[in-house]
Structure 1
Amino acid sequence: MDASAFSCLGNEEVVGIALRSLISGLTAYVEQCTYQYYGYEQGNLKIQAHMESRKRGPGFSKPPDILDVLLFCLSFWHAFESTPLAPLKNNLYEIKDIRNRWAHQEAIGDSDTFRLLDSVERVLGVIQYSGRGSGEDVQDLQRVSSMKRNHILRMASRVSECG
C-alpha cells in the first residue's frame, strides 16, 4: 500500500494496520528480552503460563494476538525495566487501550488514532534502535510513519476547511 492510499482509510482501518504492523516486531522483542532476563527455559515457562492463563495454547500463537503480547509485557514489566522499551510503558498501555476499543468496534477519533500511530511508531523505533529489529520491522516502521504523516495532513486539511 503506497503512502497516498493511507489518506483514504478510516480511523478504524488505520488502527488495524498499525496494530498488525506492531505484532511481529514486538513479539520477537518481548521473547528476546524475556529469555535474556529469565533464561530460555524459565522464559518459556513464563510465556506458557501466561498464555494458559488466557486460555490459549502454549507460547505466543503464530501470528500472535497483539493483546497477548502487550499483556505479557505489562504483567512482567520488571523484565523490561532495564531495556530501551522501559520509557515507553505508558505508550504500551495506550496501545492496549485503543486496541481494546478497536476490537470492540467502538468509534476511534482522530486524536486517538494519532496517539496510537505515535505510540506504535515509538515502540517500533525502539525495537530498531535496540538492534533487535529485522528488515520487516523497518518496513513496518516506515509504514506507520507514513500513516502518521498522512493522518496529520488529513487532520490539518479538516481544520483548514473549517477555519
Structure 2
Amino acid sequence: MAIINQERVNQAMEVLRAGLAPFIERKVQAAMKAGSVSMDAVRRSADDPMLGNKPLSQWNVAGLLKLTWDTWNAVFAPTLGRVERFLVQEVRDWRNKWAHQVPFSGDDTDRALDSITRLLTAVSAPQSDYVHRMKMERRRLIFDEKARAQRATKPGNVLGRAEPDLLDAL
C-alpha cells in the first residue's frame, strides 16, 4: 500500500521530535546554567500548561519548535545561524498545516521533508538520514510513475515497448 503525503509528513514529524529533543534539552540546560534563560521562560513558551511540567525530552514537536523560536537569541543564536532560524519557522508552518490536516501536495511534502532534513542536519541529529531517505524514496516513486506514464503514451508494440522513431534512424 502506498504511503500518502500526510502519512509521510506525520512520520517525519515524529522523527523530528526524536531528533530535536536531545539537542534542545542540551542547549536549554546549558543556557540555564549560564543564566541566559530561566525555567520560567521555558515554561511560558509551552502553549500547553501540562507540557511545561514535563522534561523537554517528552515535549511534542510543536512545543519544541515554539520553544526554539521563543528562546532563539538567548539559547540557539550562538550555535545556529539565520538560515536555521528560518528553517525552524518554516517547519513550524508545516507542523501547523499537518496538525490541522491541511492536504499536502507532492511539492509541499517534498519541501517539508527537505526542510526537516536540513533542520535535523543542522543540529547533527542522526535522524536526518532517515528523513532524507523518505524524501528520496518519494522522489524515486514520482520518477517511476512519470516514466511509466510516458511509456504508456508512446505508441508501442504488443509488448509495450516503444517502436523506434524513424526520424531518429536518419
Q: Which TM-score bucket, shorter chain as reference? A: 0.7 to 0.9
Give the equivalent residue in structure 2 for 1:73.
68
C-alpha contact (below 8 Å) 2:12/2:116 kept by paired residues: yes
Higher helix share goes to which structure?
Answer: 1
**8 Å contact kept, 2:23–2:123:** yes
Q: Which residue is 2:115 aligned to?
A: 119
Say which of 31, 39, 47 aligns to 2:25. Answer: 31
What is the rounded CA distance, in whole Å, between the counterparts of 1:21 and 1:107 in structure 2? 20
Aligned residues: 147
Give RMSD over aligned pairs. 2.4
Q: Which structure has more RCO (C-alpha within 8 Å, separation ≥ 6)?
A: 1
Residue ranges of structure 1 left out of the alignment (5+ in a row): 129-136
Structure 2 spans left out of the alignment, 5+ residues: 151-170
2:136 maps to 1:149: yes
Deviation string, structure 1 residues 80-117 (Cα, Å, up to 9, x no partner): 11213643112111211111111111101111111111
Q: CA 1:62–1:73 in 2, change beyond 3 Å: closer, same or farther?
A: closer
Q: How do 1:134-145 residues align onto structure 2 when only pairs under 5 Å count?
A: 137-138=125-126, 140-145=127-132
Residues in 2 aligned to 1:120 and 1:70: alpha-carbon distance in whole angstroms: 11
Q: In the alignment, which of 35, 46, 69 is matched to residue 41 of structure 2? A: 46
- Taking structure 2 as the reference length, the TM-score comes to 0.74
TM-score, L = length of structure 1: 0.77
